[in-house]
Amino acid sequence: MTRQIETDALIIGAGPCGLFQVFELGLVDIRACVIDVLPMAGGQCAELYPEKPIYDIPGFPQVRGQELVNNLLEQIKPFETPFYFNQTVVDLEILGTREAPRFRVTTDDELVVDTKAVIIAAGGGSFQPKRPPIAGIENYEGNSVVYAVRKMETLRDKKLLIVGGGDSALDWALNLQPVAARVTLMHRRDEFRAAPHSVEKMRALAAVGKIDLRFGQVTALAGTAPSLSSVECRGIDKDLFNIECDVMLPFFGLTMKLGPIANWGLNLHENLIPVDTEAFETNVPGIFAIGDINTYAGKLKLILSGFHEAALSAQRVHRIVYPDKRLTFQYTTSSTKIHKKLGVVS
């Protein structure tokens, strides 16, 4: 069902730069909402390196990816920002005029957002499942090759081949084993990255023949597309074998793709969005790009650069949202108005 909302500014991407953009907009009284393809905030910091220390965040000699995200979420709490997760912006319609831009943004979860400004903070693009480069795989995708399980029932009594050695592969092998006619788990080697208790459970099921555990890589698909009948595999010792299956579920992690951003009429340079360095605005007035996704002379892909970009873009967004109001620059240390916004004084 379509949901329609209205906001001053829409931020695409809930990574560190998108989160700090919420803060900078909030300071100048701009209501923002945030859309992200992942199920949680944090972008690459949360998805790729939650436990890795970062050493170049000003004021933090060392901070882990997830810690930084948690701190940013804490920092923007006063603004009670709506987040819309698990969805990708698929369409961006330019309405309004150059002077008074308006946009209508639609996601693949039927969310429609009317907004005065759009800030793209999408990092390397949206996280999508890695698709194995097997010839003809696109003819099976969505039917017998799937990268996510929406309803387990659709896989009942099917012969499943789950590929991968991480948590997703192991969790789904365990969850689907009681439902499926047969579960084969294939990984390239006999070492698993998944949580040890899942690995133990899986091995116990394999030992009693309830899961087939195989080692190797899929090299080809066989069937009458879109129906799969078997896959061809190469084992660790280069031995070739087939596995019969109705559905293959590859779990090789996520990769970043620019996706629909390419279709919004923005200038692009090698999959990056060129911006001016005064407001980090794109060639379309009212659409801004900050963080890893933008490019300009001297650009460095650092989180700290994205923070700076967020502060400056907020100034220009203010002009769009409040064309008649003059923006007086204020320090968070000394401004009582800001203290009220942040809830530190009543």
Contact positions vs another protein (CB under 8 A): 44, 48-49, 52, 124, 130-133, 137, 164-166, 187-189, 191, 193, 217, 252-253, 255-256, 301
Question: Quick one: 89 or 186, whose CB is closer to another protein?
Answer: 186
Nearest Cα to 310, choosing from 117, 167, 133?
117
- Tokens representing 173 are 């092998």
Query: What does the alpha-carbon distance between residue 235 and residue 213 come to, in Å, rounded to a whole number?
Result: 12
Least Cβ distance, residue 53 to another protein (angstroms) = 10
Closer residue to another protein in complex, CB, 28/54: 54
Separation of CA 37 from chain center? 4
Pick 136 or 265: Cβ nearer another protein: 136
Instruction: Work out how close the CB of 199 gets to another protein at its nearest, in angstroms, rounded to a whole number.
Output: 12
Closest contact distance (angstroms) between CB of 191 and another protein is 7
State which residue, 233 or 317, has the beta carbon closest to another protein: 233
CB of 255 to another protein, least distance (A): 6
Q: Is 177 helix (H, G, I), strand (E, B) or coil?
A: coil
DSSP 125-162: SEEEEPPP--TTGGGTBTTTB-SS-S-GGGGTT-EEEE
**Minimum distance from residue 134 beta carbon to another protein (Å):** 9
Distance CA 246, CA 145 (A): 9
Rounded Cα–Cα distance for residues 209 and 42 (Å): 40
Asked if 196 contacts 117 with a C-beta cutoff of 8 angstroms, the reply is no
Backbone angles phi, psi at 341, to 5 degrees: -60, -40
Nearer to another protein by Cβ, of 301 and 339: the residue is 301
Q: What are phi and psi of 24, to 5 degrees?
A: -65, -35
Smallest distance from another protein to CB 234, Å: 10
Q: Which is nearer to another protein, 199 or 338 (CB)?
A: 199
Min CB(52)–another protein separation in Å: 6
Token pair for 193: 């990255």
Q: Are 149 and 179 in contact (CB under 8 A)?
A: no
Nearer to another protein, 285 or 306 (CB): 306
Distant-in-sequence contacts of 22-25, Cβ < 8 A, 24+ apart: 22/76, 22/79, 22/81, 23/72, 23/75, 23/76, 23/79, 23/310, 24/310, 24/311, 24/313, 24/314, 25/314, 25/317
Q: Which CB, 40 or 137, lies closer to another protein?
A: 137
Closest approach, Cβ 173 to another protein, in A, equals 15
